[in-house]
């Protein structure tokens, strides 16, 4: 059973980074609709924590779908992470250089595939630099390691399950997008998608979960933002990335069994036959 805090401090990592079982993963991901000059991989290439490999959620993804960075099957996932030197018996620390998005997504993906000993570096690369951690720009040469996938299907939901959850009100559905996208007042960044929300869901923007330094808020500060966290919960967002940030926050509050709707709003709103609610929850 997973317990404790899903995040570690930069000071903890500095004190433990030399341990033979610790693997550091840079999961920096830049949303493509931001039209930034650099990709997450380029940022990693320019500067990363010593020994950190780069996990690209747009490369380690399911094929045969137009939906972005969908969870791959366990065979493909195991093959790709093995080549990164990530495997059984590792203590994995994931970080990123942009708002915790990629780190939380990779944290969730590894847990779906059955790896329990995975944490997120609170505050990302900047927190590491702030405690005097060294950086490098040389890519590491990882040694391939066996990864045994034991899929936890309870941590991921598909659209059929979401329809049932929405209609049957069996779960609290938490939407991590901005409030104005949730209410339908602002357009979606992905062209052609209407805004609004899955009927029955509530709005808790992922931007509310971190403080000014980019670190996640404490459990005491997070608790008032959510409804009853002991009941079954599903998180959703635009494409399944910031939903993982919400799942990370809920794990900090003690609920490690939160599911993420992988296709999220990109999938739900792409079919005009699915109901879309607007306004407040």
DSSP conformation letters of 190-232 = STT----B-TT-EE--GGGGB-TTSPBPPHHHHGGGSS-TTS-
Determine how β-strand 202-203 pairs with β-strand 156-157: unpaired
pLDDT score of 3: 83
247 pLDDT band, cuts 50/70/90, is very high
> Does the domain formed by 7-151 have CATH 3.40.250.10?
yes
Across 248-252, average pLDDT: 97
* Domain ranges for the chain: 7-151, 154-268
Q: Chain-wide mean pLDDT for the chain?
A: 96
Rounded to 10 deg, the angle between the 242-252 and 101-112 helix axes is: 70
Tell me if 250 sits within 8 A of 226, measured CB to CB. yes
- 154-268: what fold? Oxidized Rhodanese; domain 1 (3.40.250)
Are domains 7-151 and 154-268 of this chain identical in fold? Answer: yes
Confirm whether pTM is higher than 0.95: yes
User: What pLDDT score does 11 carry?
Assistant: 98
Pairing of strands 22-26, 91-95: parallel
Nearest-CA neighbor of 154 among 114, 194, 187? Answer: 114
Residue 8 CA to chain centroid, in angstroms? 16
From the candidates 8, 100, 237, 244, which is the catalytic residue? Answer: 237
Does residue 47 carry a catalytic annotation? no
Q: What per-residue confidence (pLDDT) applies to 162? A: 98
Task: Quote the tokens at residue 116.
Answer: 């329990």
pLDDT digits (tens, 9 = 90+) for 105-160: 999 999 999 999 999 999 999 999 999 999 999 999 999 999 999 999 999 999 99
> Which residues 6+ apart lie within 8 Å of 54 measured at CB?
25, 26, 27, 28, 40, 41, 44, 45, 48
pLDDT greater than 90 at residue 33? no
At 181, the pLDDT band (50, 70, 90 cuts) reads very high
Q: Are 93 and 125 in contact (CB under 8 A)?
A: no
- Grade residue 230 by pLDDT with cuts at 50, 70 and 90: confident
pLDDT of residue 41: 96
Tokens matching residue 27 = 């999961």
């Amino acid at each position: 059973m997973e317990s404790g805090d899903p995040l570690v401090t930069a000071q903890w990592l500095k004190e433990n980074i030399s341990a033979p079982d610790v693997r550091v993963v840079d999961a920096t991901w830049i949303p493509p609709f931001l039209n930034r000059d650099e990709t997450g991989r380029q940022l990693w290439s320019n500067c990363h924590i010593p020994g950190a490999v780069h996990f690209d959620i747009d490369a380690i993804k399911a094929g045969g779908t137009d939906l972005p960075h969908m969870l791959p099957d366990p065979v493909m996932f195991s093959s790709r992470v093995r080549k990164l030197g990530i495997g059984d018996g590792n203590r994995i620390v994931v970080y990123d250089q942009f708002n915790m998005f990629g780190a939380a997504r990779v944290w969730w993906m590894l847990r779906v595939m059955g790896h329990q000993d995975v944490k997120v570096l609170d505050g990302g690369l900047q927190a590491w630099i702030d405690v005097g951690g060294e950086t490098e720009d040389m890519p590491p040469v990882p040694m391939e390691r066996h990864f045994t996938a034991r899929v936890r299907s309870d941590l991921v939901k598909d659209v059929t399950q979401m329809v049932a959850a929405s209609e049957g009100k069996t779960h609290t559905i938490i939407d991590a997008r901005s409030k104005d996208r949730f209410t339908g007042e602002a357009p979606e960044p992905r062209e052609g998608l209407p805004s609004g929300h899955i009927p029955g869901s509530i709005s808790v923007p992922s931007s509310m979960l971190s403080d000014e330094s980019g670190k996640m808020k404490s459990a005491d500060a997070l608790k008032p933002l959510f409804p009853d966290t002991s009941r079954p919960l599903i998180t959703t967002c635009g494409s399944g990335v910031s939903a993982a940030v919400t799942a990370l926050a809920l794990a900090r509050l003690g609920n490690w069994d939160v599911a993420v709707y992988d296709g999220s709003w990109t999938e739900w709103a792409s079919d005009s036959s699915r109901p879309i609610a607007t306004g407040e929850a």
